[in-house]
Structure 1
Amino acid sequence: MSVNFKDSPTADEKKSPSPHNEDPEISALLPDYGKRSYLKVRFLVRLNLLMFVVSLASTNTGYDCSLLNSLQSMPNWRQAMILNGKEPTGAILGALSNGVTFGVILAALFSAQLSDFFGRRHCIAAGNIIMLVGVIIQSAAQSYGMFLAGRIILGFGNCFCTISAPTLISELSYPSHRQVNTACYNTCWYLGAVIAAWVSYGTRNVHGDWCWRIPSICQGAMPIIQIAFIYFVPESPRWLVSKGRAQEARAALMKHHGNNNEAIAGPLVDFEIAEISAAIEAEKIANKFSYLDFFKTPANRKRLFLLAWVATSMQLSGNGLVSYYLNLVLNSIGITSTDQQLVVNGGLMIYNCGIAMFVAFIVDRFRRRSLFLTSYSMMLFFYIIWTILSAINQKKNFENKSLGQGVLAMIFFYYLSYNIGMNGLPYLYYTEILPFTLRAKGINIQSWFQQVWSIYNGFVNPIAMDAIQWKYYIVYCCIIAVELIVCYFTFVETSGKTLEEVAVVFGEQPISMDSLKLADERKLSIDHAEEASLDV
C-alpha cells in the first residue's frame, strides 16, 4: 500500500479550518492511506475495534432503559413487583426507573477523581465488576426492594464506565477518526436497547418469573465482554503524560497511530506528544485542578453552562416519555397488548440504532452548531404534530386507528430528529470543549445533570401521563422551543480543531510549540528552586 504525506496547509487554510477534518496543522502530518482507511489499514482497523470495546460501556445504559420498558409490558413482572398490594405505578414505578440514577449520582461524587488517579481502563473494569453484582441481585430479586437495590448497584458501577469510556476514546483515537469514534460512543446505547428489546420479546411467553429473569440475567453479558477485552486497549496517552510516563505514551501512539513505523508516523506522533505535553504542563502551572476551576474564568463558566445545557437537552426534550414509559405512550394511543408493545419497542430500537450510527459516521462532514440546530428544530416540529394528533385521538376515544398510527409515525420521526443532535454528538462536543485537566470532571458534571433530570423523568412523567395525558406533551413543546433559542445564541463551534486548540473559541490562547518551551522552562526553574531549597 502506498503512503503519501499531505501537502502543508496554506495560510488561508489555517485561518479557515474545514469542518470535515482535523486542524490543518495536524492534517499535514497525517500519512495519506487513501479513502476509508478505517476499513483498509490493518492497524487502524485494530484500533477502531478497540474503540468499539470501550464504547460497549454505553450499551449497559441502553440495555437498562429498554429492559425496564419491556418488563412493564409483562404481567408476571408487575405481579412480582407488587408493593403494599398494588402493582408499581406512578411514583413507585418512578423509583424503579430511577434506581440506576440513584446509583450514578452516588458514584459521581468521586468517579472522575478515581479515573484521573488510577487511569481510564482500571475504572472501566471496576465499574463492570460492580455492575455484575447488581445484575445478580436484580435477577434473583424476590421483592420490589431487592430489585430496587440491584438497580442502585447497577447504576453505581455504570457511572465509573460512562465517565471513563468517552474520555478514553477521545484521547486515544486516531486524529482523523476521533470525531466519528467519539460520536459513535453513545450510539451503542441503542445497541444495548435493541438486544434488551428482542431478548424480552423472545422470553415473553416463558413460564413464570423466568420471562423477566432471563432478560435481567442477560444484562450481565456486556460487562463480562468488556472486562475480558478492556486490557487489550492501551491506556490514555494524555493520562500517561500527566503521570510523567511520556515514553509509554509515545510507544502507545507509535504502535496504534503509526504501526511502529518511525519513518512514516514519527512526525505525527512527535507532534501529538508535544501538543499533549504543552497542554498539560501549561494547565498544571496555571491551576490546582478541582471542580471550582469551572467557576474561575469566563471560559470555564461558559464550558460549565454548555455541559449543563446539552445534558439537560439529552434528558428533557421529551425522549424520557418514550425511553422509560413507552408502554404508557402506547396505551394512550390504543396499542395495549404485550406482543404489540414489545414489537414496537424492538422495532423502534433497531430504527434508532441505524439512524444514530449513520449520523455518527457523517458527523465530521457538518458543523456542530448546524447539527444541534437542525435537531432542535425538527424535534419541535414533530413534537407539535405528535401533540395535536394525540389530542384529537383522545377526543375520539381512540377509535380512529389511523390517528394512533399517525402518533406512532411521529414518534419515529421525532427520534430521527433526536438522534441527529442528542445521541452521539454531545459526547463529541463535551470532549472538544473541555481541556484535559477538566475533561473527566466535565463528563462527570454532565452525567450528574443527566441523572438529576432522569429523576424528574422517572417520577414526574408517569404521574403526569396518568393525570393529564396528551396535555403533558405541551410542556415538552415549550421546553424544546427554549432549547432551540438557547442553542442559537450560546453554542460555540468546535469543528476543525484539535482537542488542545479548541481553547481559542472560548477566548483563550491555543497551545503552541512556544508555550511548550515556556512551560518546560518554567517547570525546570521550579525544579531547580525546589532542589536548592532542599540543599539549604
Structure 2
Amino acid sequence: MGEHNSKMNRYNWLCVLYVTFGAVFYGYDSACTTSVLGYTSFLEYFSLDSTTIGAMGSAYYAGAVVGMASNWYLPNKYGRIRTIQIGCLASLLAAAMQTGAHSYGVFVAGRVIGGFASGLIFVVCPAYASEIAPPKMRGRIGGLYSYAAFKFINGLGFYFIKGNVSWRLLLGCQLIPGTLMFACSFLMPESPRFLAYVGRYDEALAILKKMHGTTHDDTFYIREFHQIKAQIELDREERLGLKAIWQRPSYRKRFLLVFWYAIACMLSGVIVIQNYQVILYTNVGFSNVMSLILTGVWGCVGTLSAIYAALCFDLMGRRPTMFISYFLIVAGTLTTCITWAIYENGGSTNRSLAKGIIAAMFFVGLGYGGPANAFLATYPAEIMPTSVRPVGVAVSYMTQHVLIIILVQFTPQAIETISWKFFLIFVCSSFVFAIVFVLFYPETRNKTLEEIEAVFGDKVAETLDEAAQHIKVEHVDEKAQAQGHVSPVAVHEEGTDKEHTA
C-alpha cells in the first residue's frame, strides 16, 4: 500500500487537542455522578437513597443515549463542527439547571440534558478526530481521548468547603468545558472528509493542505485528497449509504464488531467501579475523605493507562495493546472477587484484605482506562466508511450507554444484596470476549481510512501509490492559477485526464 510519511504539523496538533477536549467535556460531567456521592450535604439536601441515586445516574446516561442517537443525522447533515456547537449550548443549560437546582426533579432534568450534550459531543469527536489525523497518529489520538483523569481530583478539592456551596461548585464547573469548547469551535475547520462527502472539494483540499502539508512530505495531502474523493465517488456509484449496513456483509461485520465491543466494555465491570467506587470504599471501611482521595488515585491510574495506550497503539498495534488490556481486566476482576469474598467471610478486620480489594480494582482501571477507552474512541471510527462513520460510532456508544443505564440503576441494590458475587459476571464476560477479540478483530494500524476498506474485503477505489501516479506531484505555479482562475482541484483533475488520454 505504500508508506504514509505524513507528520502532524502544529495546526493539525491544535485541531486534535481541541477535539480530544470532548473527552474532558464528557469525563468531568459523568464524573460528577461519582464524586458528588461523597458529599454528605448533597445526599441530605435531596434526601437520596439507593433507588434515587440509581435514578440520578441512569437519567444522565439515558440523555446520553439520545444525544448519541442524534449522530445518525446531525453530523452528516450540518457537519462535525456545527454538531459540536449544538452540544455545547445544551451543556450550558444543563450545568445551570444542576448548579441552581432546588428540587430533585430539576436536578435530574439537568442531568438528562447534560447527558444529551455529552453524548452528542462524545460521539462526534472521535469521528472528527479520525478524519483529520494522519494514519500513523490515530492510535495516539485515541489515547489522548481517554486522558481526562483530573476530573476525579476536583471532587476532593471542593469537599472541604462547608455546606451546599461545595457540591454546587463541583457541578458548576461543568460550565467551563462547554464554554471553552463552544468559543474555540469558531476557530476550527470542518472535517475535510465531510466537505468532500457534500461536494465541497476545494475547501476539503485547502484544509488537508493546511493540516497535512509539511516540509517532511508535501505530496501526502494531495494523494490523500484524491484517495478520499475517489472512495466517496465509488461509494456513490455503488449507492452505499445507511441501507448498506443491512445489505452488505462487510458493513454488517463492521457493525457487529462495534456492537459486541461496546457490550464487552461495559461487562468489564469498569462502570460499576467508576461510578460507585465511593460506596465500595466505604463498604470496606474507608472514610469519606479517604474514599475521595482514592477516586483521585483511580484517576491517576487512568492517566498512566492512557499514556501507555497512546504510545502502544501506534507502535505495537491495536491488537497487542488490547491483549495487555484484557489480561489486566480479567486478572483485576477475578482478584477483586476473591479478596472481597474472603473479606466478607471473616476477614473484615484485616486491613490488608481491604487494601487488596482496592488494588485489584485499580488493576481493572489500569487495563481499561487507557487501551479499552482508546480502542472505543479509535476503532469504530477507523473501520466505518465515511458515509456511515458517525452512525457507526453512535451505535458503539449508544450500546455502551444502554448497558450503563442498566448497571448504574441496579448496581447499588446488587452490591447491597449479593456483594462480591455481582463481580463474577464481569470476570466471565471479559474472559469470553478476550477470546472473541483474538479471533475476529483485525489490525488497522498505519492504514488510511480508505485503505481499511480492503481489510474487510471491500474495494479500495485508489491507494496512495495509485493516487501519486495519477496526479502531478510537482507544485502548480500559483501565479498561473490566479491568472487562469483555476482551482487546485481542477488542475489535478486535468492532469489525471491527460494521463488517462495518453
* Fold equivalence (TM over 0.5): yes
Counterparts of 2:244 and 2:46, CA distance in 1: 45
Contact 2:305 2:367 in 1 (8 A): no
* Corresponding residue of 1:521: none
Q: Does 1:26 align with 2:26?
A: no
Unmatched runs of 5 consecutive residues or more in structure 2: 468-502
Contact 1:48 1:181 in 2 (8 A): no
CA shift, 1:228, in A, is: 1.5
Tell me the SS of whatever aligns to 1:270. Answer: helix
* Corresponding residue of 1:502: 452
TM-aligned CA distance change 1:515 to 1:113, over 3 Å: farther
Equivalences for 1:60-99 in 2 at 5 Å? 60-82=25-47, 87-89=48-50, 91-99=51-59
2:429 corresponds to which letter in structure 1? Answer: I
Q: Does 1:155 align with 2:115?
A: yes
CA shift, 1:390, in A, is: 0.6
Task: Provide, for residues 135-172 of structure 1, a one-character-per-residue CA deviation record: whole Å limited to 9, x for no partner.
Answer: 00011111211110000000111222122211111111
TM, length-normalised to structure 1: 0.83
Tell me which of 407, 414, 418 is aligned to 1:464: 414
1:436 corresponds to which letter in structure 2? Answer: T
* Corresponding residue of 1:415: 365
Counterparts of 1:419 and 1:286, CA distance in 2: 40
Contact 1:50 1:232 in 2 (8 A): no
1:141 corresponds to which letter in structure 2? Answer: A
Tell me the SS of whatever aligns to 1:26. Answer: coil
Contact 2:62 2:402 in 1 (8 A): no
* Corresponding residue of 1:333: 284
CA shift, 1:378, in A, is: 2.4
2:28 corresponds to which letter in structure 1? Answer: Y
Q: Does 1:109 align with 2:69?
A: yes
* Corresponding residue of 1:529: none
Contact 1:321 1:329 in 2 (8 A): no
2:173 corresponds to which letter in structure 1? Answer: C
Counterparts of 1:132 and 1:215, CA distance in 2: 14
Contact 1:180 1:360 in 2 (8 A): yes
Q: Does 1:55 align with 2:20?
A: yes
* Corresponding residue of 1:320: 271
Q: Does 1:236 align with 2:191?
A: yes
Tell me the SS of whatever aligns to 1:65. Answer: helix
Counterparts of 1:161 and 1:400, CA distance in 2: 45
2:141 corresponds to which letter in structure 1? Answer: N
Tell me which of 120, 124, 132 is aligned to 2:80: 120
Unmatched runs of 5 consecutive residues or more in structure 1: 1-13, 15-23, 31-36, 39-43, 517-536
Equivalences for 1:128-527 in 2 at 5 Å? 128-185=88-145, 187-188=146-147, 190-191=148-149, 194-195=150-151, 197-258=152-213, 265-287=217-239, 289-290=241-242, 292-335=243-286, 337-396=287-346, 398-512=348-462
CA shift, 1:200, in A, is: 2.2
Contact 1:200 1:211 in 2 (8 A): no
Report the identity percentage.
27
Task: Provide, for residues 182-237 of structure 1, a one-character-per-residue CA deviation record: whole Å limited to 9, x for no partner.
Answer: 3322x13x34xx23x22221221222211100000001111111111122221111
Task: Provide, for residues 87-122 of structure 1, a one-character-per-residue CA deviation record: whole Å limited to 9, x for no partner.
Answer: 221x32111111221112223333331111111111
Counterparts of 1:480 and 1:230, CA distance in 2: 38
Q: How many residues align?
A: 467
* Corresponding residue of 1:45: 10
Task: Provide, for residues 228-270 of structure 1, a one-character-per-residue CA deviation record: whole Å limited to 9, x for no partner.
Answer: 11222211110111111111111111122225x7xx7552121
Counterparts of 1:361 and 1:125, CA distance in 2: 31
Counterparts of 1:431 and 1:398, CA distance in 2: 46
Counterparts of 1:178 and 1:471, CA distance in 2: 39
Counterparts of 1:250 and 1:434, CA distance in 2: 22
Contact 2:136 2:446 in 1 (8 A): no
1:494 corresponds to which letter in structure 2? Answer: T
CA shift, 1:377, in A, is: 2.5
2:276 corresponds to which letter in structure 1? Answer: Y
CA shift, 1:397, in A, is: 5.2
Contact 2:29 2:114 in 1 (8 A): no
Task: Provide, for residues 245-300 of structure 1, a one-character-per-residue CA deviation record: whole Å limited to 9, x for no partner.
Answer: 111111111122225x7xx755212101100001111111212522x321112111
Contact 1:121 1:230 in 2 (8 A): yes
TM-aligned CA distance change 1:480 to 1:179, over 3 Å: closer
1:250 corresponds to which letter in structure 2? Answer: L
Tell me the SS of whatever aligns to 1:117. Answer: helix
Q: RMSD between aligned alpha carbons?
A: 2.0
* Corresponding residue of 1:524: none
Tell me the SS of whatever aligns to 1:233. Answer: coil
TM, length-normalised to structure 2: 0.89
CA shift, 1:420, in A, is: 4.9
Tell me the SS of whatever aligns to 1:345. Answer: helix
TM-aligned CA distance change 1:283 to 1:94, over 3 Å: same
Task: Provide, for residues 18-69 of structure 1, a one-character-per-residue CA deviation record: whole Å limited to 9, x for no partner.
Answer: xxxxxx3433xx4xxxxxx66xxxxx13321221111111112211232221
Contact 1:387 1:474 in 2 (8 A): yes
